[in-house]
Amino acid sequence: MSEDGRVQDWMSRMRWDEQGLLPVIIVQEGSGEVLTLAYMNQEAFLHTLKSGEVWLYSRSRRALWHKGETSGNIQKVVGMRLDCDGDALVVSVEPQGPACHTGAWTCFHRPLPAHFFQQGASARSLSSAPSTADPLPGAVQEKPSVKKEEPFWAVEVGGSEAALGAVLEELYVRIEERRHELPDGSYTTYLFREGTDKILKKLGEEAVEVIIAASKNPSDQTDLLEEMADLLYHLLVLVSAKELKLEALAHVLRARLSMNRDRKYSRRPVEPLQPATGEKNTDDTNE
């Protein structure tokens, strides 16, 4: 049997769901740590075999994506294992960087409190409200002996971590859906139909609203937060309208963060002005 024939034979054993997808568990080679749960369709599977790097199918964007294409955090495939029922695939990889869009090494970095499932601990049902002494469901717990850098988008709200990056990504996915589907009655649809000039105008207006709200300096910052949220929303609409990706924007921010500089800098060196030949140097600085 030819190589293509063997590949097709294996694909025939895979139980693709009604959408033509197969869940994929991506684990780190050697440690076996689970990095990501994602999905492949047959095209993504074939791309993965051909390139030796992980390709997946995004259900929200309804499109193929090459893991690490914009961030550089590609995952080189070392092995694949199909489960006994043929309806799930484990892919062992050598990751070239973090697997999670938040910057965490693995997507599974939000441990639930141990007393939820351990016997002998203080009795408390999952349906009860969390106490102030317990970490909230979804909050990141860190080992005391390990110091890990907090994601730069993480902010403290009421003692729990609010992952701004995750919220922005979810909002961006919704905006992308509006751009492709253009449902009637949607404000986002209205912006896309009006075009880039309208989006830019609204973005400018919202920036001014943020400045005005911030200049008032009230004790209640609710209005300022609302205006900031409006500004971020319209910025994401512009990102979508320009067919950019959040991963690309995150890559630029991450690169600047790694430079460890707070001061404003120019993208290219500025050459000092030189007086024209025969003219006196009017610079009043000391030579």
Kindly tell me if the per-residue pLDDT of 154 is higher than 50.
Answer: no
- pLDDT band, residue 6 (cuts 50/70/90): confident
Q: Grade residue 263 by pLDDT with cuts at 50, 70 and 90.
A: low
Asked whether residue 104 carries a pLDDT value surpassing 90, the answer given is no
Higher pLDDT, 121 or 20: 20
pLDDT digit string, tens, across residues 56-89: 999 888 899 999 888 888 999 999 999 998 999 9
Confidence class for position 258, pLDDT limits 50, 70, 90: confident
Query: How does the average pLDDT of the chain come out, rounded?
Result: 78
Which pLDDT belongs to residue 5?
Answer: 83
**pLDDT tens profile 117-132:** 766 544 444 444 444 3
Give CA–CA dist 70/94, Å, rounded: 18
In this predicted structure, which of 3-12, 106-115, 264-273 has the lowest mean pLDDT? 264-273
